[in-house]
Structure 1
């Protein structure tokens, strides 16, 4: 029986695109989801083996990793627990003979990060490194999908409201990351032990992104920068009082201002053979949602 590739976070922004690309390559996929719903049913309809489980459940992880050749690990940034879960995942992968892991980290993850989430991602990287299963770390900048989180303010206030100042960075789409993940999982050996910071096509400020949205949807959208302390109550309300995630976002907002999210490189094109999607093309693709 041919071993499968495991995708965790299978219905999320990166996981669903990784699965789509793996299926194009005729690579069998097992998808781990938190709950069975219409999104998981859509995966099953494509021939994906869908399993339900929790990345914080060591015994369940061991079951899910049986007969898996390579795996994509994505722990949700909204909640604590990544270090313990990473140890569970790495040990279960070792026990089941998994040949490679692609680990989703983040570009500001570092030992000295003020964000508990970013610092925990850095520690999780070190946990994977020490277990012996070949691993590739992906460290993306802010996702282009952040724009879609602003749909409400775009529709009600004609505005993007963020605490990122006037700093430019190159937003990367989940679609591009999915292609990177699938490409590495299809042939992991050349990427073993490597860390890839991932960026979109070009660096842009929120002012420039707002102008692009204005052009596409046909009405003026402005960027309204706010100071980080002033953004906290807005974020806390949106996150329904999630202290862990609120602390992370406020800390990485400062990281963005300090340039940690800025930069460009050619890794997406080198790994997948295709340039990343431009922000303008992303906005055009999601025009209907932004109207």
Structure 2
């Protein structure tokens, strides 16, 4: 049986769907009981609840587990402590394979969440547990937060790009999920760290051109100021750490971009990863 932590987020749900399609037995760890029904709508699986800082609850979630895909919620100030709890539970359960969902370029310490991911990577490597570390680039699905504005007004609201030189490697979440399922179910992937990127290092103009091609009309770009963006995040329930860390992330991307290489993902998938244009087209078709 495979345990997915942070199971009710978009990444956890995508990985669960990919594993269920392969006939794998899944146990999903969610934080609140009201999330159980929603996650069970994905298919047949066990669902358990518990706070990932609660060692006893996490230990119980690991009983009978062969492998784990560990996802910590985005920009979590307690990520290192959570990593310690999860790794301890995995060690006690004698887990055969620990897959950690990290981030591309965790060595960049200007971004606090990268710093925390890197420290959890170190804890995992030093634990002696057979591991795979996955370091994905920015998800194409992140633009879906602006989809309503795109569809109704032709406006792409974004914070990643402020110059024409900025380039971001983006990965389709469906490709990430497929790769994760392969890594968890096929031999040969332990003791590895994989940087996973899509096939393009996209500029803002690249993205807008793909959107205009498939939407069939002009797309305008809006980039909210930091104060407005911070207020939006706080309105959604983000705390000060999440807000400040998110702003630091965008500041770094705007200055340096986030460049990646798709060779590793291509090798794992056995095919070329999905490009941004195909993602936009697939999303449009699914919404119609």
TM-score w.r.t. structure 1 length? Answer: 0.88
Alignment of 1:1-291 (within 5 A): 4-35=1-32, 36-37=34-35, 38-43=37-42, 46-110=43-107, 113-154=109-150, 155-156=152-153, 158-165=155-162, 166=164, 167-187=166-186, 189-224=187-222, 226=223, 231-240=225-234, 242-259=239-256, 261-287=258-284
**In structure 2, how many angstroms separate the alpha carbons of the residues matched to 1:139 and 1:23?**
23
Alpha-carbon spacing, 1:34–1:193, altered in 2? closer, same or farther (3 Å): same
CA contact (8 A) 1:160 1:210 kept: no
C-alpha deviation, 1:244, in angstroms = 1.4
Per-residue Cα deviation, 1:121-165 (whole angstroms, up to 9, x for no partner): 111111111111111111111110121122254344623332423
**In structure 2, how many angstroms separate the alpha carbons of the residues matched to 1:33 and 1:274?**
33
C-alpha deviation, 1:96, in angstroms = 0.7
Query: SS at 2:281's partner residue?
Result: helix
Equivalenced residue count is 280
CA contact (8 A) 1:83 1:121 kept: yes
**In structure 1, how many angstroms separate the alpha carbons of the residues matched to 2:227 and 2:286?**
26
Alpha-carbon spacing, 1:290–1:113, altered in 2? closer, same or farther (3 Å): farther
**In structure 2, how many angstroms separate the alpha carbons of the residues matched to 1:249 and 1:205?**
20
CA contact (8 A) 1:7 1:30 kept: yes
Segments of 5+ residues of structure 2 without an aligned counterpart are: none
**In structure 2, how many angstroms separate the alpha carbons of the residues matched to 1:78 and 1:259?**
20
**In structure 2, how many angstroms separate the alpha carbons of the residues matched to 1:12 and 1:175?**
14
CA contact (8 A) 2:168 2:257 kept: no
**In structure 1, how many angstroms separate the alpha carbons of the residues matched to 2:147 and 2:161?**
17
Query: SS at 1:68's partner residue?
Result: coil
Alpha-carbon spacing, 1:259–1:193, altered in 2? closer, same or farther (3 Å): farther
**In structure 2, how many angstroms separate the alpha carbons of the residues matched to 1:158 and 1:272?**
34
C-alpha deviation, 1:103, in angstroms = 0.5
Segments of 5+ residues of structure 1 without an aligned counterpart are: none
Query: SS at 1:86's partner residue?
Result: helix
CA RMSD of aligned residues (A): 2.1
**In structure 2, how many angstroms separate the alpha carbons of the residues matched to 1:108 and 1:235?**
24
**In structure 2, how many angstroms separate the alpha carbons of the residues matched to 1:19 and 1:157?**
33
Query: SS at 1:190's partner residue?
Result: coil
**In structure 2, how many angstroms separate the alpha carbons of the residues matched to 1:144 and 1:207?**
15
**In structure 2, how many angstroms separate the alpha carbons of the residues matched to 1:193 and 1:164?**
35
Per-residue Cα deviation, 1:235-259 (whole angstroms, up to 9, x for no partner): 2122115321222222222332344
Structure 1 stretches of 4+ with a deviation exceeding 4 A read: 288-291
